[in-house]
């Protein structure tokens, strides 16, 4: 075993740099922070993502010649001298590590000039500085350093070939699409503009195909504007017209030395990316408080049927709604907060006991002022706990309760499923057969009261254990397991009340006694039709035979940030039958839709707001990898095409809007409650259900099959079980 030894200085230098510099965006942010610390009022950034290079120029105070040669040394800084200085810190940097780490994994050239000097000096790290009197050409032709004029001062830094000496990490950043780097840079620099909104910041990028373009520019924020006006301007300058300016509402609060200013939009977006909290200019990324805020809006604003209402009718959610919340909090500094993370992001704050209630109070006030129901807030906080039915009826009601909308099925049919049952509270019930696919479904029979069917043909009545009397018994240790193979061998007993199908099913292992289960005829047929529609649709997409329809005069305005995403995913949209081209200027960006798949065009029916929401959701899902690009999936060879469930490998690629369209179509076309089925038709329905990928759930997640009881043996069981069996034999011929 090798002896313990000190690492080589060069190796240690590279390893240290990996802790801090992780991406092109973080390196750009570090140098822009240095420019702000140097009191710059104008900052220009030029990025070349392809070559992992960039340049930052500012009009700050500059670096004096004596200090320029110290630049890039480890833990060398002008910001602090002791830990006590952190309590009054007004700069971003204080570790003396940013340029050191960047220079360890790239080629860095620095030129700087102070106001008192007639000329600047230039230095290529780690060499000494020299006079800067003529143009310095960088390795990257697009990044050129021009000499300073007599009246100019500031600093110019060129970083080239980032991570050139760590080839694996370099390949990782090269494999990322340019839009990811652009979005990350916007998010990081917006954080700086929140604290310094009046700085004129322009970010350009160059590419071999497009030349030089502006990523964003924030240069029209006047000192005379109010804090929330500055925040609104900076937000729209950075991200584009994510939401209209007039939709942004001002919020503010103050408690002792804690001051909060912010903006909240009345218009929804398709992503949670714009739920942002900043404390003293540093992002506060506390998952619990962010989830709580999002849940508040989901429970109050976005469940409102009139919110963002479109002409297109949809039962499910074709796209998500999330709030735009930007909060800027100023409060006393705490040393522990500053030392949490090298990226200067806050995960926890020492003043959470003050800040969290303050934040929630502001959100609460906004919702109340906008007229949203306050009772929803109380429900979220748990102040009003709904009363649930007592006893074992809760479990069986959850299993057999319907989520079908009134528009699809008569509400009287839904109520007829359970005798006098009260509505279960939304969010309180859990589907009993949630584990589907190839896994067996297991439930203890004690959670399912044994059933009796009356002779008069009334709706299925589920009895309480006390109602069953001594004629029935429960086995607390028995578990019922149902798999797809069990379903294939199930025997149909009969249809019940024109709603359910009673089945006798034999377990694979253990007891040889059959189980009695009940199948929902509507849920079962709905599942069969949904998988049929999805399978056919996937095959059309893979084979390029999807039916499309040309449309005209369909122009959708998007933000520049969204435009980058639509540009990158254009081929993916084409795979789903959606074709478009785009046009943009420095102030606006537009998508011109030229064709849509027929099923989406029928739903669209000229409603541009609906279509915009759908397309935004699709592009955000692909960006966040919630949906995988189908064009990157390989079409399997002929040996696999005979697999009945081959299409399910592409299930994660299907956009949400198509899921909702096919769910609605399956629900409308499925067998309804009240439809009479012969025994042969029931058997055929169960056979087709057994062939499904997810046979135990309907299209909307409601169970399609529920186990009721296990039949005992006449030889081994006591008289109470025999009586139970005879009670079933009175209505059904069970051998």
SS3 (DSSP) at 427: coil
How far apart, in whole angstroms, are the C-alpha atoms of residue 183 and residue 343?
A: 17
Percent of the chain whose predicted confidence (pLDDT) is above 70? 70
Tell me, what's the pLDDT at 241? 86
Residue 433 half-sphere exposure, CB side, CA atoms within 13 Å? Answer: 34
Q: Is residue 95 part of a domain?
A: yes
The predicted pLDDT at position 85 comes to 63
Sheet holding 53-58, edge to edge: 130-132, 120-124, 107-113, 154-160, 53-58, 42-48, 200-207, 211-218
Q: For residue 320, give its domain range.
A: 220-383
Which H or E run includes 157? Answer: strand 154-160
Q: Is there a single domain that holds both residue 407 and residue 296?
A: no
Please give the pLDDT value at position 393.
40
Give pLDDT, residue 471.
Answer: 39
Residues 166 and 18 in one domain: yes
pLDDT on residue 686? 94
Nearest to 269 by CA among 291, 238, 248: 248
- 346 with 439, same domain: the answer is no
Average predicted confidence (pLDDT) for the chain = 77
- The per-residue DSSP string of 263-315 comes to EEESS-BS-GGGEEEEETTEEB--HHHHHHHHHHHHHHTTT-TTTT--SS--S
**Assessment of whether the complete model's pTM goes beyond 0.85:** no
Residues 454, 347, single domain; the answer is no
Q: Give me the number of domains the chain comprises.
A: 4
Buried b (16+ CB within 10 A) or exposed e, 124-162: bbeeebeebeeebebebebbebebbeeeebbbbbbbbeb
> Same structural domain for residues 568 and 517?
no
Write phi, then psi, for 329 (nearest 5 degrees): -115, 130
Query: Is 614 in the same domain as 663?
Result: yes
Residues 331-386: tens digit of each pLDDT: 887 776 666 566 677 888 888 899 999 999 999 899 888 887 554 444 554 444 33
**183 domain-assigned:** no
Residues of the chain where predicted confidence (pLDDT) is lower than 50: 305-306, 375-378, 381-477, 635-639, 714, 717-735
Q: Is 428 exposed, middle or buried (0-12, 13-18, 19+ CB in 10 A)?
A: exposed
Tell me the C-alpha to C-alpha distance, in Å, between residue 179 and each of 186, 370, 566, 727.
10, 36, 10, 68
Which pLDDT does position 411 carry in this prediction?
40
Residues 6+ apart with CB under 8 A from 380: 295, 296, 299
Q: Is residue 214 part of a domain?
A: no
pLDDT tens digits, residue range 685-715? Answer: 999 999 999 999 998 888 999 888 877 654 5
- CA 195-201-206 angle, to 5 degrees, is 135
Same domain for 201 and 150: yes
Query: Could you tell me if 435 and 339 lie in one domain?
Result: no
Residue 215 lies in a domain: no
For residue 283, being part of any structural domain is answered with: yes
**pLDDT at res. 459:** 35
User: Which CATH number fits the domain that encloses residue 564?
Assistant: 3.30.1370
In-domain check, residue 236: yes
Query: What CATH number does residue 374 fall under?
Result: 3.30.230.10
Same-domain pairing of 665 and 676: no
Answer yes or no: do 477 and 434 share one domain. yes
Q: Is 735 contained in some domain?
A: no
């Amino acid at each position: 075993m090798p002896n313990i030894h000190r690492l080589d200085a060069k190796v240690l230098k590279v390893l240290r740099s990996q802790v801090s510099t992780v991406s092109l965006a973080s390196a750009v942010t570090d140098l822009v922070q240095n420019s702000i610390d140097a009191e710059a009022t104008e900052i220009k950034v030029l990025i070349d993502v392809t070559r992992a290079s960039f340049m930052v120029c500012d009009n700050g105070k500059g670096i004096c010649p004596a200090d320029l040669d110290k630049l890039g040394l480890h833990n060398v800084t002008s910001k602090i001298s002791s830990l006590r200085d952190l309590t009054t810190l007004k700069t971003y940097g204080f570790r003396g590590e940013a340029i050191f780490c960047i220079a360890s994994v790239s080629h860095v050239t620095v030129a700087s000039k102070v106001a008192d000097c007639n000329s600047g000096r230039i230095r290529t790290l780690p060499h000494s500085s020299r006079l800067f009197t003529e143009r310095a050409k960088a390795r990257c032709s697009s990044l050129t350093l021009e000499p300073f004029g007599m009246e100019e001062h500031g600093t110019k830094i060129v970083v080239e070939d980032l991570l050139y000496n760590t080839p694996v990490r370099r390949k990782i950043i090269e494999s990322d699409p340019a839009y990811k780097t652009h979005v990350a840079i916007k998010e990081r620099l917006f954080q700086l503009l929140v604290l310094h909104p009046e700085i004129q910041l322009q970010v350009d990028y160059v590419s071999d195909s497009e030349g030089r373009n502006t990523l964003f520019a924030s240069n029209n924020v006047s000192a005379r504007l109010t804090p929330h006006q500055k925040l609104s301007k900076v937000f729209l300058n950075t991200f584009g017209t994510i939401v209209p300016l007039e939709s942004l509402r001002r919020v503010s609060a103050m408690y002792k030395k804690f001051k909060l200013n912010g903006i909240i939009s009345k218009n929804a977006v398709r992503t949670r990316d714009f739920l942002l909290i900043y404390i003293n200019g540093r992002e506060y990324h506390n998952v619990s408080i962010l989830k709580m805020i999002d849940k508040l809006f989901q429970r109050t604003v976005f469940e409102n049927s009139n919110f963002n209402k479109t002409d297109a009718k949809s039962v499910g959610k074709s796209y998500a709604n999330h709030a735009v919340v930007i909060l800027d909090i100023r409060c006393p500094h705490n040393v522990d907060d500053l030392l949490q993370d090298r990226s200067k992001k806050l995960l926890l704050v020492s003043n959470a006991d003050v800040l969290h209630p303050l934040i929630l109070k502001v959100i609460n006030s906004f919702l109340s002022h906008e007229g949203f129901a306050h009772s929803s807030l109380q429900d979220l906080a748990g102040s009003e706990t709904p009363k649930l039915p007592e006893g074992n009826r809760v479990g069986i009601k959850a299993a057999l309760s319907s989520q079908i909308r009134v528009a699809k099925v008569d509400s009287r049919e839904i109520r007829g499923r359970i005798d006098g049952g009260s509505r279960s509270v939304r969010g309180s019930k859990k589907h009993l057969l949630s584990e589907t696919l190839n896994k067996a479904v297991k439930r203890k029979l004690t959670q399912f009261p044994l059933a009796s069917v009356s002779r008069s043909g009334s709706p299925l009545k589920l009895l309480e254990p006390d109602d069953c009397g001594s004629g029935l018994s429960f086995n607390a240790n028995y578990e019922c397991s149902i798999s797809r193979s069990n379903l294939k061998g199930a025997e149909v007993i009969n249809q019940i009340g024109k709603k359910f199908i009673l089945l006798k099913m034999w377990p694979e292992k253990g007891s040889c006694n059959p189980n009695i289960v009940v199948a929902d005829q509507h849920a079962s047929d709905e599942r069969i039709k949904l998988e049929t529609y999805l399978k056919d649709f996937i095959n059309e997409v893979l084979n390029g035979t999807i039916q499309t329809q040309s449309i005209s005069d369909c122009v959708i305005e998007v933000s520049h940030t969204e435009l980058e995403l639509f540009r990158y995913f254009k081929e993916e949209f084409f795979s789903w039958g959606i074709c478009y081209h785009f046009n943009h200027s420095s102030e606006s960006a537009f998508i011109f839709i030229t064709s849509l798949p027929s099923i989406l065009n029928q739903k669209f029916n000229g409603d541009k707001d609906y279509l915009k929401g759908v397309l935004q959701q699709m592009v955000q899902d692909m960006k966040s990898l919630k949906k995988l690009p189908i064009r990157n999936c390989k079409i399997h060879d002929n040996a696999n095409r005979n697999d009945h469930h081959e299409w399910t490998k592409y299930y994660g690629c299907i956009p949400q809007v198509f899921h909702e369209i096919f769910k609605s179509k399956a629900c409308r076309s499925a067998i309804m409650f009240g439809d009479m089925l012969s025994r042969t038709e029931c058997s055929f329905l169960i056979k087709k259900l057994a062939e499904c990928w997810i046979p135990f759930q309907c299209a909307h997640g409601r169970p399609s099959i529920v186990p009721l009881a296990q039949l005992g043996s006449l030889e081994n069981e006591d008289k109470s079980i025999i009586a139970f069996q005879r009670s079933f034999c009175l209505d059904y011929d069970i051998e």
